[in-house]
Amino acid sequence: MKQYVVGVDVGGTNIKLGVVGPSGKVIVRNSFATKPFASSRMKLISALSRAIEASIMAAGLNKKQILGVGIGLPGLIDYEKGIVRFLPNIPGWHSVHLRSILQKKVHLPVFVDNDVKIITLAESKFGAGRGVKNLVCMTLGTGVGAGLILNGQLYRGQDNAAGELGHIPLNEHGPKCNCGGVGCFEAYVGNRPLFALASRMMGKPGLTTLDMFALAKKGNKKALFFWKTAGQRIGNGLVGIVNLLNPRLIIIGGGVSNNEEFLFKPITDTIRRRAMSLQGSAFKIKRAKFKDDAGIIGAYVLVTNAQK
């Protein structure tokens, strides 16, 4: 019986693969560095194909037991046509028909989608968002993105490009952003601006959010104030989302979400204070359940959803 999925999570640094069985259980994991293959897209696609075959073998399965391959990529993806439109962090990927190229190599159905949408599927089906009909799943890191579950369904937008939370403009006179915009949310709460804020507050260069977490744990007052400020910045960006979408749940993932104990209260307080009263009292914040496996488990949901 076909009940397994090969999940692939393509990142700018690493590519993670896993074979996932019923109920989203990961039975085999594999990974390799992206860089040696990033120079040419055919090289990368061949590496993916070899790794997919090897993972099926390592799981002791044959292709008759595999429903398909789900692939998450960091960029603009045409889910319906199976085309990678653009990957900002992996050069040379413009309008690549990844699904049709890879299907010919591995002889299995292939599904491709944006990585944050896939993580959202994982959290919604098996993680922090189980049973919740309306939620926002936000990832905080170098980039800031989000997936939306509205009325129990992943909301894709007209071009599968919905959810660019990091590029909501907050200030028309703010810093320039990689997207071409100005004063985007990401320019205030992405890793780079948070590291800069940390260094400025502590009067010491080169500090990261990890350093600030360690200092806050020791009770350092400036570090605690840093987290309060970061939480207020994040909350300020989410007020509009809460008013617009009226979600029951906001799931926060990515490196910064490890600092839940210092971060979530100022986020919640800011939203409750600034949002409209009904929407502002009806939401909760939770940390994402999955870390490294999120993309692989989400790929399982993507492929199994497509069977219905």
Which residues are at the interface with Zn ion (CB under 5 A)?
Answer: 167, 177, 179, 181, 184
* CB nearer to Zn ion: pick between 74 and 181: 181
The values of phi and psi at residue 226, to 5°, are -60, -45
What is the length of the chain?
308
**Which residues face 28 on adjacent strands?**
19
* CB nearer to Zn ion: pick between 177 and 202: 177
C-beta of 171: minimal distance to Zn ion in Å?
12
Q: Tell me the DSSP string of 90-159.
A: STT-EEE-HHHHHHHHH-S-EEEEEHHHHHHHHHHHHSTTTT-SSEEEEEESSSEEEEEEETTEE---TT
* CB nearer to Zn ion: pick between 99 and 167: 167
CA 147 to chain centroid, in Å, comes to: 8
Pairing state between β 135-140 and 83-86: unpaired
Residue 160: Cβ within 10 Å count: 18
CA distance 308 to 291: 27
C-beta of 78: minimal distance to Zn ion in Å?
21
Residue 202: Cβ within 10 Å count: 16
User: For 235, which DSSP code?
Assistant: H
* CB nearer to Zn ion: pick between 38 and 170: 170
What's the Rg (C-alpha) of the chain? 20
**Which residues face 182 on adjacent strands?**
176
Active-site hit among 113, 115, 211, 292: 115
C-beta of 165: minimal distance to Zn ion in Å?
10
Tokens of 308: 């219905």
Active site residue 115: yes
* Torsion angle (degrees, nearest 10) of CA 5, 6, 11, 14: 140
Tokens of 63: 């292709």
C-beta of 197: minimal distance to Zn ion in Å?
18
C-beta of 166: minimal distance to Zn ion in Å?
6
Pairing state between β 83-86 and 94-96: antiparallel
* CB nearer to Zn ion: pick between 26 and 161: 161
C-beta of 186: minimal distance to Zn ion in Å?
6
- Would you name the residues annotated as active-site residues? 115
